[in-house]
Amino acid sequence: MRRNNPKRELWFAWYTTVIFYNFYFIVFFPVTHAQPPPHPYWSDALVANWFGHNHHGLIIGFGIIFAVAGLTAPQNALIAYSMRRMSVSRVFAWSYLVLYSVAAIPGLLLLCVALSVGALRPARDPAQLHWLYDFGLLSFTGTMGLFLIGSLVWMLAILLDKNRVLPKWFGYLNLCNALTEVVIAPAWIFHAGVFSWNGLISWWVDIVVFGIYTGAFLTQLRKLIQREDFGDGPLPELTKPHRAGASLAGTAP
Amino acid sequence: MTEIAEAGPPPGADRQPAEAAGKPARHIPGQPDMWVLVLFEALVFTAYFAVYLYHRSAYSGLFLRSQASLSPWLGTLDTLLLLTSSMFMLRCVQAARAGAFRSAMANAHLTGAMGAAFLASKITEWFLLVHGGHTFTSNQFFMYYFFLTGIHLLHLLIGFIILGVIIYQLRGPRRRSLELVETCATYWHTVDLLWVLIFSLLYVVR
């Protein structure tokens, strides 16, 4: 059956990704104040106070995340799709899908669960709240191995690809992003300073790299959809946009 | 991708039309995309160095005392090893450009040997420091020392993979992409440059 706009599903996945990252930023930064992460060296009393101070933000914010966390699936699928469009083995796309599906647990959900429990059980012993606080934030910042390998898988696919699906420089940018996943590892050791989970190097430098990387991959995936011809050879370069009303298929919204 | 034939005109001659017109050609070695990585990593390391220097000025006494525990001879040896490796890499690229693949392969292997010697020297230095009671968590200086040398060593390990790509390219007559050889060489020189900066900051600057 002929489809009217074969790119519609791809645009759906792309906009879903953009919407998810908007939710992510709003919830994690201004609503819950889970990012930038609060201090790792706080005492039990200060941690309990933090939970009390952010009570409503944590419940509302992570409630939203629990509702929309599944939006990461179309994003992962779109990235896997980019690898399926390349002249490389399907092993790359499948590996990426599996890695990032698992990565959502330590890289997103554990933090939300642990901090939500802390917010919803304020009468618990402050030492237990502190344990939840450490567990949530360490699982979030310290389990980057899955993201490291995922970035390397995408990088390798891009560098081996002959269909010019994504530019080689973006492949190399994946390596830069992967290296930041190593830099965050000392957060398990240090309670204060530049390598703690909210440190100047472990968090601030890494978040700048991640921000640039996220902006780059959203832009490149957008271009990929614009260029997609649904063939299996080299992806054509972008031509000048058609005049309005000329055709719906293949045009960027 | 520029493929190098076993015989015929010098490799890369076909990509310099400006030279044929009597103008000096402007040529970026390798894939221009690799320079994104080089510039991006340079920016990231600049951030690391800025943070290091800030803390160095804040704890100058501690940093000076701790710095005295480092062996300047091992640091100098490391630097010489990597600079020599870069020289062999340069000769490898020049040989590949001239179509002298046997020489290019030999220089690629020598580059790897120098890199391996650097790796051995660095691990020896780490062992000696840890044996002497200086670890990642000992103090601010050693925290930066192990971080900067560690992240650099990670770049070097990636460099070994890149060297493998060069050797793979040079070994097969059908492959021999000069562009890839130059791209990989760009990465290797970047690792070298980063070490020179790290050596200056950790061992030399007082």
Please list every residue in chain B whose beta carbon sits closer than 8 Å to the beta carbon of residue A182: 151, 154
> Is B19 a domain residue?
no
* CATH code of residue B59: 1.20.120.80
∠ CA A28-A108-A150 to the nearest 5 degrees? 120
Contacts of A11 (CB under 8 A, 6+ apart): A225, A253
> Is B20 a domain residue?
no
Give the distance from residue B12's alpha carbon to the nearest chain A alpha carbon, in angstroms: 20
How far is it, in rounded angstroms, from Cα A183 to Cα A203? 9
Backbone angles phi, psi at B3, to 5 degrees: -95, 140
How far is it, in rounded angstroms, from Cα A169 to Cα A158? 9
How far is it, in rounded angstroms, from Cα B178 to Cα B32? 13
How far is it, in rounded angstroms, from Cα B141 to Cα B134? 10
Looking at the structure of chain B, the number of domains it has is 1
How far is it, in rounded angstroms, from Cα A113 to Cα A228? 39
Give the distance from residue B33's alpha carbon to the nearest chain A alpha carbon, in angstroms: 4
Please list every residue in chain B whose beta carbon sits closer than 8 Å to the beta carbon of residue A175: 37, 158
The DSSP secondary-structure symbol of A161 reads: -
Q: Is the dihedral of CA A241, A244, A247, A252 positive or negative?
A: positive
- Find out whether A236 and A229 touch, Cβ atoms under 8 Å: yes
**Tens of each residue's pLDDT in chain B, 206 residues:** 344 444 334 444 434 444 445 566 667 888 999 999 999 999 999 999 999 999 999 999 999 999 999 999 999 999 999 999 999 999 999 999 999 999 999 999 999 999 999 999 999 999 999 999 999 999 999 999 999 999 999 999 999 999 999 999 999 888 889 999 999 999 999 999 999 999 999 999 88
Supply the pTM of this predicted model.
Answer: 0.89
The closest CB to that of B47, out of A167, A173, A205, belongs to A205
> Is B13 a domain residue?
no
pLDDT tens readout for residues A98-120: 999 999 999 899 999 999 999 99
How far is it, in rounded angstroms, from Cα A212 to Cα A220? 12
Query: Which pLDDT belongs to residue B1?
Result: 39
Check if A192 contacts B (Cβ < 8 Å).
no
The DSSP secondary-structure symbol of A210 reads: H
The closest CB to that of A175, out of B37, B48, B140, belongs to B37
CB contacts < 8 A, A to B, total 56
How far is it, in rounded angstroms, from Cα B136 to Cα B85? 28
Query: What residue ranges do the domains of chain A occupy?
Result: 8-227
- Range of B174's domain? 32-204
How far is it, in rounded angstroms, from Cα B194 to Cα B113? 19
pLDDT tens readout for residues A221-235: 999 999 999 999 999
Interface confidence, given as ipTM, is 0.89
> Buried b vs exposed e over A65-104: b needs ≥16 C-beta within 10 Å?
beeebebbbbbbbbbbbbbebbebeeebbebbbebbeebb
Q: Confidence class of residue A240 from pLDDT cuts 50, 70 and 90?
A: low
> Is B172 a domain residue?
yes
- Find out whether A99 and A152 touch, Cβ atoms under 8 Å: no
Query: Which pLDDT belongs to residue B26?
Result: 66
> Is B8 a domain residue?
no
> Is B90 a domain residue?
yes
> Is B159 a domain residue?
yes
Query: Which pLDDT belongs to residue A241?
Result: 58
How far is it, in rounded angstroms, from Cα B122 to Cα B87? 20
